[in-house]
Amino acid sequence: MKLGVVILAAGAATRMGKAKMLLPYGEQTILEHIVEEVQALNPAIICLVTGKYTTEIEVVINVNSLELVPFANWQAGMSASIQFGLSSLLEKQPNIDTVLFVVSDQPFLDRQLLFKMIDAFQQSGKRIVAAQYQQQYGTPVLFSHQYFPEIRLLEGDRGAKKLVEKQIEDVVLVDFPLGALDIDTAEDYAKFQQLLNQQDAH
């Protein structure tokens, strides 16, 4: 399989009021952690879709290690960012046959989960792998190239979730309990730090 990764970091983080993906995570930022975990997969290409905080992200992220693709129309929502990320990725590497979409506000995302998802994809014969948490499913999500045309037709702010629901017979779900925590508010971030401290204490 020829894997490409799209990291979605274009949103305004209105509830947080600042670039939530650049909040500290240990010695790094959340986004640096996510980039590092994705790089462990050694994908053919990583596209980082930025928007409102492009300038701030450029300062923090080593742009030599990935393709930074600023999305001028980032206010159009999650589906538009996903489509822009996929188009940018295929423009640069047309022979990609599998794409992994990752968001930049799930701080507990790690390479173990991502490797597990790739294994599930290769062994199941199914063409979509999605993470599962709190009786729902979502990102990260992996799509085979057969679904690229449908991704280009997505609308609204639910991103790829709608497509996963529609094609559930062709989906493998991988447990990611901590995926339920995404950083939208200062309270979320405080909860994340608390969980991180508990993990470090073990």
The CATH number of whichever domain residue 150 belongs to comes to 3.90.550.10
Determine whether 44 is exposed, middle or buried from the number of CB atoms within 10 Å of its CB (0-12, 13-18, 19+). middle
Which pLDDT value is given to residue 48? 97
Q: What is the rounded distance in angstroms from the CA atom of residue 13 to the CA atom of residue 103?
A: 12
> Alpha-carbon Rg of the chain, whole angstroms?
16
Domain that holds residue 140: 3-201
Which pLDDT value is given to residue 101? 97
Which pLDDT value is given to residue 169? 96
Q: Which stretches of the chain drop beneath a pLDDT of 50? A: none
- 167 close to 121: Cβ distance less than 8 angstroms: no
Q: How many distinct structural domains can be found in the chain?
A: 1
Q: What is the rounded distance in angstroms from the CA atom of residue 159 to the CA atom of residue 16?
A: 20
Which pLDDT value is given to residue 15? 56
Which pLDDT value is given to residue 14? 56
| Segment 173-196, tens digit of pLDDT | 999 998 888 777 778 878 888 887
Name the pTM for this structure: 0.94
